[in-house]
Structure 1
Amino acid sequence: MFIDEVNFNIELVRNGLAKVVLYEKRAKIKYQNELLSAEKEVREKRLDIWSQ
């Protein structure tokens, strides 16, 4: 979902408000690499849901 040309899902992940869940039997999702990269960064910074 895009809001003002910004991928809302990536922003949720980037801000530590959501996590990426991938299912083995499904095809690769369109923004998978961007989502995983955002999650890796936020985990390293230990923000919000990753702060524990």
Structure 2
Amino acid sequence: MTTTEELIKVLENSRTYTLAMAEAMPEETFDHQIVKDHWKFNDLINHIAYSIV
């Protein structure tokens, strides 16, 4: 397997995991902040989504 193929596999696994976590999280908790001065779940998901584009 080439380095490019390995990277693609890692990125696809990360995408699958991230989408599964977003789908598993109840929508009413997206705005919840567990620890002060840390990102809310929806902020983190938006950051991941828009940094990939």
TM-score, with length taken from structure 1: 0.34
Q: Which structure: greater helix fraction?
A: 2
TM-score, with length taken from structure 2: 0.33
Greater relative contact order, per chain length (Cα 8 Å cut-off, separation 6+): 1
Structure label with greater radius of gyration: 2
Q: Which structure: greater strand fraction?
A: 1
